[in-house]
Amino acid sequence: MKYENKVLLINILKKPIVSTLIAIFLGLLVAGGIIGALGYSPAMALNSLITGVFSRPKYVFKVIEKSTPMIFTGISVAFAFKAGLFNIGAEGQYILGSVVATVVGILFNFHPVLQIPMVILSGVVASTILGSFTGFLKAKFGVHEVISGIMFNWICLYLCNFVVNNPIFHKVSTSKTYSINKSGFITLLHEWKRSKEGIEYLRGNSFLSDILLKTDLNVSFLVAILVAITIWFILYKTTLGFGIRAVGNSPKAAELAGISVKKNVIKSMGISGAICGLAAALNISGVSPHGLYLLNMFENIGFNGISVALIGAGSAIGCIFSGLFFGGLIYGGNNVQSDLGIPSEIINITMGAILLAIALTKIIPSVVKKFIFRLKESDDI
């Protein structure tokens, strides 16, 4: 191979998207090896995974439904990364947004034109306050956002459990709250598709029937795409974004340039929290059961958002694709388990292997530089 071709290949390998694809391949390879060691066929497992995602319209839209909250929280974590912050509190912010949106959605029952914005905004505002407060503790008192974030995660979890068990909200003989009032639903055609006319119409259209009757189709995914584009625009086309990225790259240099580090830390965590709250409120409004369960933290939407952000290389746009990939693994993994009897933990192992591989691919640039140096050295000789 010519010297120029080698350098071109190395430059391609240095790109984040290539490193991510390599990590995904390695993660799937590890999962395949474990599946083979357990006595199952990796090829059949992969086929079952793909079938469980793409074989029916219902499955595709279920993957989108499951992926959307993780896309939001992934964008939230990725945004905080740009300011040099690790928003591990995304889980707590998501839970708090869910709690407040549910409480407002149950207590009030206005016309949908007023009810829907009120439910969504209440979740966003609550999570924004929590995110901003985490940033304030960091900026004012030097409390690391990881420490305060973990503490707030537990506080929000038990707040959720308290609300679920409260007689005002608790649905008798269940472990969940009442659903929010229907005036707060954003599920598309939720009244019509269950009416006599809707059922009659959908009976003659299997494609629409599979989507509308068997999924909670709503606009959340489109909102997630819009949020990703907006965050990209803020980061790279506005002075606010420039300040945030400057603080993330070098707080001391940003301070010397007249950029307030403390203000940008609070703003970054506030915006990051707002995105988590938006994810939560849209999920409560758009997806059944439109309420809360006990131990809501076990959904891990916020924690999975960290994985989505890492797989998406810290890019808001990348989080859309990594979130869909993550959601596909989780939903398709259920099909693998039911078809072949392969333990569901294999999917978690796959995700862990991918994240480990992503961490290891960070050494690629240094290896590449050494390789280029050796190439130059041998070329001189």
Kindly report, residue by residue over 266-295, the tens digit of the pLDDT.
999 999 999 999 999 999 999 988 999 887
Packed helices 220-237 and 57-82: angle between N→C axes, nearest 10 degrees? 20
Which residue numbers in the chain have pLDDT < 70?
1-11, 13-14, 296-298, 361-381
DSSP H/E element including 97: helix 90-107
| pLDDT, tens only, 103-155 | 999 999 999 999 999 999 999 999 999 999 999 999 999 999 999 999 999 99
pTM for the structure as a whole: 0.91
- Cβ neighbourhood burial of 299 (10 Å; 0-12, 13-18, 19+): middle
What the block records as the tokens of 265 is 């830390």
Reduced to 3 states, what is the DSSP secondary structure of residue 139? helix
DSSP annotation of 180 reads P
Alpha carbon distance 110, 147 (integer Å) = 40
Q: What was the pLDDT predicted at 227?
A: 97
Alpha carbon distance 338, 340 (integer Å) = 6
DSSP annotation of 178 reads P
Q: What was the pLDDT predicted at 381?
A: 46
Packed helices 261-286 and 57-82: angle between N→C axes, nearest 10 degrees? 170
Q: What was the pLDDT predicted at 123?
A: 97
Residues 6+ apart with CB under 8 A from 340: 40, 41, 44, 45, 48
3-state helix, strand, coil in the chain (%, to 5): 80, 0, 20
